[in-house]
Amino acid sequence: MKKKSSKTLIIVESPAKAKTIQKYLGNGYSIAASVGHLIDLPKSRLAIDIEHGFQPEYITVRGKAKILKSLQAEAKKADTVLLASDNDREGEAISFHLKNALQQKNPRLPIKRIIFNEITPHAIREAVSHPLAINMDKVNAQKARRLLDRIVGYHLSPILWKKVKNGLSAGRVQSAALKLICERETSVESFVPEEYWSLEAELQKGKSLFKAMLIEYQGRKPVIKNKSEVLKISESLKDAVFKVTDVGFTEKRLKPRAPFTTSTLQQTAATRLGFTSRKTMRVAQQLYEGIDIGSGRIGLITYMRTDSTRVAGSALQEVRDFIHKSFPEELPGKANFYSPGKGAQDAHEAIRPTYVNNTPESLKSYLTNEQYKLYAAIWERFVSSQMIMAITKTVSVDFKVRETLFRANSTSIKQKGYQRALHVLAQREKGKKLPRLTIGEEVTNLRFHPEQHFTSGPSRYTDASIVKILEEKGIGRPSTYAPIISVLLDRYYVVRKNRQLVATQLGRIINNLLVKSFPDVVDENFTARMERRLDEVEENKQEWVSLLEDFYGDFKKQVDYVMDTLESVKGVMDEET
């Protein structure tokens, strides 16, 4: 009698990921997708039993019952189920709830967890060969965060409905981010710019034209407040001789940057590619989950939610071999290592290409324009991180002219180093090349160029700068930076103007109310401390229930007090201006 072949069901989060993984495994495997969370708190009520240890009341997410039923049916046909949701807190919670839901129908079914950092044949086969138990510390950290956010949102939102406007909502982490944006808006509005002027001389030697900037006047740095002052200086130098009094050379060593974390990827994509944080994460997700590159479907980058700059030893060897072959002069004697940022959990590798030989150009025809740009940035940053430093050389030429000193600068690349790998991320060379000049030599002054300026105050936050400050202050985690910005935009507490994040009148009213009534909830230090405590739950150093107990008592008292005493500002939004 022929032995029945065993069947394994693997459940991932997204259909795109399922499509990629299906190709890597044999006939004994079937792949299905949960399409995110299937089990969660209901939207319409608190659903947390505060009196009995903050026990949550989970339900099947509305609209997901059909998917759950289908997965339960698929699981019935399987001998083993492997849960392959993302390797983070949310992914662990998805696996935990899925396991419970599947075992309700089939209590004896073996269900295990598999994790991987990239979607490649080797990584998937390796994960399938080494299944794990579900990490309950991660599940508890997700539960604590979910319940904490539900408690804050559920209690603050009714205050906003009653005192400001129906339909509003407030959340724990995004309220701290809104406060930062509102504070910056106040600084921008209160800043009074001051006028000042600069003066350049357009000089000539032979056929070469170049400019020199006024850097000293009457023995000190010039402070030119208006047009009449700058014209007075230029008039006094009308027939003066521009003679070279000094020629200096300086070298600057530029170290390569570490491979990307979630935060630095979002910052670079914003400043260099003009991507919003939401777009960056959407495109990165596509690259991670798999692209058909002709020879087959493959994940092109490692997991894109990480705070680590660590790189696997095998990937380091692969990139060093690639540099040895492609840029032999730029290969350092040993690998470059980068220390993780302050407070980094270091749970995942840095974001890097899964195969460094998949160069951006070789994949260009398989990628959309957005995918190509982001993949090229990730590839270039990773390859360049393992190359030697670049060296720039700056030539400074001083011209002493009566009571003034003018200086011309020119910077050139002496050693390209890691910059040889940069194209999408390449920096432009600054300054026009100067002619060869020697001390005592005279040059012709063709004309002066006075220019008006105004002192610049604090800049409004952009996607790049808000992500940077959120990370620096410990507000949120790699998985939450983009959603924080999206929530503020979706609620119309913030709008985006010329890539800048501007607090709306509504956002400022909400912020003023929260700062006045719930200073702890919107305080960046409190939010950062709470993030650290959630990390401690994940590290099994903190009980999730005690974290909620410590928070809830004082918070609920303040909610009740504010609900009774806070003056309503309803109608403010509708007043004519």
Cα distance between residue 24 and residue 37, in whole Å: 25
Q: For residue 523, what are the contacts with CB-CB under 8 A and spacing of at least 6?
A: 176
How far is residue 332 CA from its own chain's centroid? 29
What is the full DSSP assignment across 369-406? HHHHHHHHHHHHHHHHTTSPPEEEEEEEEEEEETTEEE
Tokens for 288, please give them. 């991670």
**Six-digit token string for 153:** 């949102």
Active site residue 288: no
Task: State the catalytic residue, choosing from 29, 288, 303, 493.
Answer: 303
Question: Which residues have CB under 8 Å from 260's CB, separation 6+?
Answer: 268, 350, 351, 352, 377, 378, 381, 382
Count CB neighbours of 331 within 10 A.
19
The conformation of residue 78, written as its DSSP 8-state character, comes to -
* 3 state DSSP class of 43: coil
Give the gyration radius of the chain's Cα atoms: 30
Residue 275 · residue 292 · CB < 8 Å: no
- Decide if 443 contacts 240 (C-beta within 8 A): no
Ramachandran region, residue 244 (left: φ > 0; alpha: ψ -120 to 50; beta: rest): beta
- Gap between the Cα atoms of 126 and 210, Å rounded: 61
Maximum pairwise Cα distance, the chain = 108
What is the rounded CA–CA span in Å between residue 70 and residue 384? 46
Beta-strand pair 208-217/111-113: unpaired
* Amino acid present at 262: T
Q: What is the DSSP letter of 273?
A: I
Complete DSSP assignment for 410-466: EEEEEE-GGGGG-STTPPPPPSPPPPP--TT-EEEEEEEEEEEEE---PPPPBHHHH
d(CA 365, CA 270): 24
AA letter at 311: V
14 vs 514: CA distance, rounded Å: 37
CA distance 184 to 507: 13
Catalytic residues: 303
